[in-house]
Amino acid sequence: MAEKRRGSPCSMLSLKAHAFSVEALIGAEKQQQLQKKRRKLGAEEAAGAVDDGGCSRGGGVGEKGPSEGDEGTALPLPAGAASGPARSGADLERGAAGSCEDGFQQGASPLASPGGSPKGSPAPSLARPGTPLPSPQAPRVDLQGAELWKRFHEIGTEMIITKAGRRMFPAMRVKITGLDPHQQYYIAMDIVPVDNKRYRYVYHSSKWMVAGNADSPVPPRVYIHPDSPASGETWMRQVISFDKLKLTNNELDDQGHIILHSMHKYQPRVHVIRKDCGDDLSPIKPVPSGEGVKAFSFPETVFTTVTAYQNQQITRLKIDRNPFAKGFRDSGRNRMGLEALVESYAFWRPSLRTLTFEDIPGIPKQGNASSSTLLQGTGNGVPATHPHLLSGSSCSSPAFHLGPNTSQLCSLAPADYSACARSGLTLNRYSTSLAETYNRLTNQAGETFAPPRTPSYVGVSSSTSVNMSMGGTDGDTFSCPQTSLSMQISGMSPQLQYIMPSPSSNAFATNQTHQGSYNTFRLHSPCALYGYNFSTSPKLAASPEKIVSSQGSFLGSSPSGTMTDRQMLPPVEGVHLLSSGGQQSFFDSRTLGSLTLSSSQVSAHMV
């Protein structure tokens, strides 16, 4: 049979037949011993790079002519109505000799071919033309944004941790290769101590020094990427972003955030876990170990936890690079706290315009632009500074109010919405009562106030991001029950109404206090001090007051909620916009956390 395998044109075997080869049936990564021809075939196959999506449609690769050297052109076959994520064996395996391999994979089995050696190669999903195929067996993880990490690392990366939980900047973003496209995996992250020391920052020498031994170990926490479990093909096709992961110093945290001690050094790790090894995977247990679990870490992502930045260079770099902190960039001055807030409000002008990534030149997108992530209220948090909501009237109080007479309605029908998304600002509103409290509190010296935080980081980057599908199906990506964006900015100052999300079955992201899912956008203030998420309820236009009244309290936090039907507004539980956070923290424009900002809320955080 051997001679048949080589180079003989396969007139009888099609790609589909190859899909039935033993190699295909056992899954690529198990073919360690059948790789003799891999490299050889790799070169041939490299020429046949094919669209991965086509390859992976259920039903296998389309028919290819039996001639040698055929490129893999996968004809997507319609999947069965309810079929699972099946992939044709052919996608992965090159059953017959001569078939090429998939960029990641698995050994083309030189044999297994029922005698023939067809050259038609099943569409290699990831062949890179002209390059030798990488070793397929092992998963490989590449850090995205490594340059930025390095810059932080050179200074000494610091990450803010808070009781409510704070996202990381930079966020961990990786690309994975070397997975079995047909295998299901969980991807998770944990953060482990680098050493058993506690640190302090010595200002006058601008150095970190050991200050003793580490505090006792924290409860183990694992952040499981929300897309899990998913096929290797799914994982490999996108940048995997952990931007929603939050760090907390609250050892009694019950939000599933990663618990860390302040002033300790940590190393984030990414885990790739084969689904069958994932039985023990849990957010509150250490990552399981075993043959199907692989951990990856990047030395340049080591950081020290802080409750306030110690090294000013870090602060500067964060402001400079974190789009949510853009507000602090004003004329190169580093202003923090109330002062910065006041100034930012002064720039607000009434306009309803959603911020999109397009507005923000040169800002690298964080996170994944794929719809699935966006649906989760996603990591594309990038708010621009543009939407200046307030008119030129300066407000001395840091109240988030919009200038007088800035009522505007933007009612968008779903269809309109997407068009409008690029140009409209979405606004949040706060209930009157809360606004009063707000004012009162912000007038206190030393108070900074909490940015509205939402767990969902929706960068109003594109229309897609704004339409958080509630339904959770692909078809709903761009439509949500309440997609029209009607926000009314009342003329009363400070009347910012914040419409609460209604509980629904889709909980976005990390905010576990919310029951609901939120269609959110963010309103990014000019200084991007905070973002608001507001719902896109078609009914909002009608009567903002009603909305207000149905809310018990002001939600400082940014819309983790969608503002949905007014009628459905649930009482907001105890979100206090302002609090007396003891820390000198900076305004954090990113939505971070639970809507219930409890007592320590008023802090402007900059991450």
Partner 1 sequence: QMAFESHPHLRGSSVSSSLPSIPGGKPAYSFHVSADGQMQPVPFPSDALVGAGIPRHARQLHTLAHGEVVCAVTISGSTQHVYTGGKGCVKVWDVGQPGAKTPVAQLDCLNRDNYIRSCKLLPDGRSLIVGGEASTLSIWDLAAPTPRIKAELTSSAPACYALAVSPDAKVCFSCCSDGNIVVWDLQNQTMVRQFQGHTDGASCIDISDYGTRLWTGGLDNTVRCWDLREGRQLQQHDFSSQIFSLGHCPNQDWLAVGMESSNVEILHVRKPEKYQLHLHESCVLSLKFASCGRWFVSTGKDNLLNAWRTPYGASIFQSKESSSVLSCDISRNNKYIVTGSGDKKATVYEVVY
From candidates 115, 134, 503, 552, binder to partner 1 by CB under 8 A: 115
From candidates 75, 86, 409, 541, binder to partner 1 by CB under 8 A: 86
Which of 480/527 has CB closer to partner 1? 480
Measured CA to CA in angstroms, residue 582 lies from 45, 163, 320, 495, 602 at distances of 61, 12, 25, 27, 9
Q: Which two tokens stand for residue 159?
A: 């990450």
In the complex, minimum distance from the CB of residue 54 to partner 1, in angstroms, rounded to a whole number:
15
Which of 182/335 has CB closer to partner 1? 182
User: Does 509 contact partner 1 by CB under 8 A?
Assistant: yes
User: Does 78 contact partner 1 by CB under 8 A?
Assistant: yes
From candidates 32, 53, 79, 599, binder to partner 1 by CB under 8 A: 79
Stretch that binds partner 1, among 79-87, 151-159, 357-365, 493-501 (CB under 8 A): 79-87
What does the chain come to in residues? 607
Stretch that binds partner 1, among 55-63, 195-203, 493-501, 549-557 (CB under 8 A): 55-63
User: Does 505 contact partner 1 by CB under 8 A?
Assistant: yes
- Partnered with residue 189 across adjacent β-strands are 223, 270
Phi, psi of 171 (to 5 degrees): -90, 155
User: Does 362 contact partner 1 by CB under 8 A?
Assistant: no
In the complex, minimum distance from the CB of residue 26 to partner 1, in angstroms, rounded to a whole number:
3
User: Does 3 contact partner 1 by CB under 8 A?
Assistant: no
Q: Which two tokens stand for residue 414?
A: 């779903």
Which of 327/459 has CB closer to partner 1? 459
Torsion of CA 589, 591, 597, 601, to 10 degrees: -10
CA distance 329 to 332: 6
| Contact indicator for 122, 106 with CB cutoff of 8 Å | no
From candidates 9, 20, 151, 550, binder to partner 1 by CB under 8 A: 20
Three-class secondary structure of residue 524 per DSSP: strand
The mark string for 447-486 relative to partner 1 (x by CB under 8 A, - otherwise) is ----------------------x--xx-------------
Q: Using CB atoms within 10 A of its CB, is residue 216 exposed (0-12), middle (13-18) or buried (19+)?
A: exposed
Stretch that binds partner 1, among 84-92, 125-133, 210-218, 587-595 (CB under 8 A): 84-92
From candidates 43, 77, 146, 155, binder to partner 1 by CB under 8 A: 77
Which of 91/359 has CB closer to partner 1? 91
In the complex, minimum distance from the CB of residue 116 to partner 1, in angstroms, rounded to a whole number:
5
In the complex, minimum distance from the CB of residue 90 to partner 1, in angstroms, rounded to a whole number:
9
User: Does 555 contact partner 1 by CB under 8 A?
Assistant: no
User: Does 60 contact partner 1 by CB under 8 A?
Assistant: yes
CA distance 419 to 397: 35
The conformational region for residue 405 under phi > 0 = left, psi -120 to 50 = alpha, else beta, is: left
Which of 370/583 has CB closer to partner 1? 370
User: Does 501 contact partner 1 by CB under 8 A?
Assistant: no
| Contact indicator for 60, 91 with CB cutoff of 8 Å | yes
Specify the DSSP class assigned to residue 412.
-
> Between residue 368 and residue 387, which ones bind partner 1 under the rule CB under 8 A?
372, 375-376
From candidates 89, 156, 452, 459, binder to partner 1 by CB under 8 A: 89
In the complex, minimum distance from the CB of residue 38 to partner 1, in angstroms, rounded to a whole number:
16
- Partnered with residue 424 across adjacent β-strands are 353
CA angle at residue 207 from 206 to 211, to 5 degrees? 130
CA distance 514 to 491: 30
User: Does 1 contact partner 1 by CB under 8 A?
Assistant: yes
In the complex, minimum distance from the CB of residue 23 to partner 1, in angstroms, rounded to a whole number:
9
Which of 223/328 has CB closer to partner 1? 223
> Between residue 193 and residue 232, which ones bind partner 1 under the rule CB under 8 A?
223-224, 226-230
User: Does 419 contact partner 1 by CB under 8 A?
Assistant: no
> Between residue 141 and residue 200, which ones bind partner 1 under the rule CB under 8 A?
182, 184, 186
Buried b (16+ CB within 10 A) or exposed e, 178-192: bbbbbbbbbbbbbbe
Q: Which residue carries 């900074």 as its tokens?
A: 448
User: Does 25 contact partner 1 by CB under 8 A?
Assistant: yes
Total chain residues near partner 1 (CB under 8 A): 71
CA angle at residue 459 from 458 to 462, to 5 degrees? 110
Stretch that binds partner 1, among 154-162, 434-442, 504-512, 534-542 (CB under 8 A): 504-512
From candidates 62, 107, 116, 494, binder to partner 1 by CB under 8 A: 116
Measured CA to CA in angstroms, residue 491 lies from 423, 512, 544 at distances of 22, 34, 12
In the complex, minimum distance from the CB of residue 578 to partner 1, in angstroms, rounded to a whole number:
27
In the complex, minimum distance from the CB of residue 437 to partner 1, in angstroms, rounded to a whole number:
30
CA distance 94 to 98: 8
Q: Which two tokens stand for residue 322?
A: 């974190």
> Between residue 237 and residue 296, which ones bind partner 1 under the rule CB under 8 A?
244, 256, 276, 278-279, 281-283
The mark string for 511-550 relative to partner 1 (x by CB under 8 A, - otherwise) is xx----x---------------------------------
CA distance 126 to 56: 11
DSSP letters spanning 152-219? HHHH--EEE-BSS-EE-SSPPEEEEES--TTSEEEEEEEEEESSSEEEEEETTTTEEEEEEEPPSPPP
From candidates 506, 535, 551, 557, binder to partner 1 by CB under 8 A: 506
